[in-house]
Amino acid sequence: MNNQKNHNPFYDPSLSSRHRSARLFKAFTRGSILITLAFLCFFIFDMVRTAYPAMWQSYVKVEVSYNEKSSKISQKAIDKKFRKIVSRAWLRSIPKLLKQQPELMGTTANQWVLADDQVDQYMKGHHHNLKQKQVSVIETLKTNAQIELRWNNIFLSQGDSKLPENAGVYSSLIGSIFTLFVTLAIAFPLGVMTAIHLEEFARDNMLTRIIEVNINNLAAIPSILFGLLGLAVFINLFGLPRSSPLVGGLTLALMTLPIIIVSARAALRSVPDSIRQAGYGLGLTKIQIIQGNVLPIAFPGILTGTIIGLAQAMGETAPLIIIGMIAFIPDSPNSITDAATVLPAQIFTWAGMPERAYVEKTAAGIMVILLILFFLNAAAIYLRKKYEIKW
């Protein structure tokens, strides 16, 4: 072996250390990708674990007496020892229920009602602030099978609430849809028109260059500054209603614009010139060619970029906080000028709540937004794959 080394004119004594450093370097790069993957897995695991309890909600079976007294002071409808056990949100709804169904007056019923958030936390084995007396009441209910965890259908059907057991994402989802609708209605036509201008018409002059540099810069401006713009221009200058999906949508539209422009330009550029030349050969005008031939071919690419842009707008929070879309709004908006909140802003508000019960709600809200973003991105990838044309 030693002999071989001495007689080999190509033998490099540093070779083994060079190979060792090569292996180390490869291990470093592999390690960095593994760190990224490990973080993603840990993150998803942590969110699912935190969000899982929010799928269930505690209900208790108590005797409810509907009478004159309870229509005025709803606390009187149930036995004194259960008053801290049931949800105050449910208690408040009793007078309304009696107004709607007067035939219930004077009857008593043994029925399942929503439990208080502290009771719910106790049932799930989390930290709670219950007194010993209440804990023993719950334990008796447990042995009598009068308390149970049920599938939580409040979360997706109710709006925000100051009582965690009654809080849901419905109103913020509607707010998000309204806001994104405004964003789409503004950003899509403007973005596609800009892309057509830059790709098909613009000559290489000063204005074109300014627009191009400007679009690149617009994409890099921190989102919070768009919030300052929305506050100073849309709200203070134009007097549009604060906290409304209209202002939120306009602000997000300006942020989404660069994404749509860049992807639409790429889609238009990928249409081969032979299509345009064939059109000219048939005597069509430039506008006719773009309308009838270029745009239909480029459309799937434009759509993909638009969906990705909307997905980003969906998760954006900072500018919407600045324009006031974090107010407490339990009802869903009826028009784009009503005060509304959006899903990420709802997550932000819940994350700042002191009650322990909001932690699982926040994580559940995060799971909802991640699922929506996942489907939006999956739709974008599907469209790209399905309509992709190889020239």
Partner 1 sequence: MITTKGNSKENIIRFLLIFASVISIITTIGILFSIFFQAIEFFQLKSFWYFLFGTEWSPGQENSKFGALPIFAGTFMITVIALLVAIPVGVGSAIYMSEYSSRLRRNILKPILEILAGIPTVVYGFFAALTIAPAIVSISGWFGLTAAYNSALACGIVMGVMIIPIIASLSDDVLRAVPNSQRNASLALGMTHSETIRHIIVPSAMPGIISAGLLGLSKAIGETMIVVMAAGLRPNLSWNPLEDMTTVTVRIVDSLVGDHAFDSPDTMSAFALGLVLFVVTLVLNMISLSQIRKFKAKYKINTL
**Does 185 engage in binding with partner 1 (CB under 8 A)?**
no
Among 4, 132, 220, 386, binds partner 1 (CB under 8 A): 220
**Does 348 engage in binding with partner 1 (CB under 8 A)?**
yes
Q: Choose the stretch contacting partner 1; rule: CB under 8 A; options: 125-133, 173-181, 216-224, 333-341.
A: 216-224
Instruction: Measure Cα distances from 29 to 15, 41, 43, 65, 386 in Å.
Output: 21, 19, 21, 69, 34
Name the amino acid, one letter, at 69: K
Least separation in angstroms between CB 250 and partner 1: 10
Of 235-274, binders to partner 1 (CB under 8 A) are 236, 254, 257-258, 261
Among 218, 297, 339, 353, binds partner 1 (CB under 8 A): 218
Does the CA dihedral 63-68-71-72 come out positive or negative?
A: negative
**Does 316 engage in binding with partner 1 (CB under 8 A)?**
yes
Among 285, 335, 371, 385, binds partner 1 (CB under 8 A): 285
Instruction: Measure Cα distances from 273 to 225, 232, 278, 391 in Å.
Output: 40, 45, 9, 11
**Does 31 engage in binding with partner 1 (CB under 8 A)?**
yes
For residues 62 and 255, which CB has a smaller minimum distance to partner 1 in the complex?
A: 255
Among 5, 11, 35, 282, binds partner 1 (CB under 8 A): 35
**Does 201 engage in binding with partner 1 (CB under 8 A)?**
yes
DSSP state of 78: B
Measured in whole angstroms, the distance separating CA 86 from the mean position of its chain's CA atoms is 31
Q: Choose the stretch contacting partner 1; rule: CB under 8 A; options: 106-114, 165-173, 232-240, 274-282.
A: 232-240
Give the closest residue to 116 by CA, choosing from 78, 143, 65, 145: 78
Backbone angles phi, psi at 6, to 5 degrees: -70, -30
Question: CA-to-CA distance for 383 and 89, rounded, in angstroms?
Answer: 45
Least separation in angstroms between CB 186 and partner 1: 9
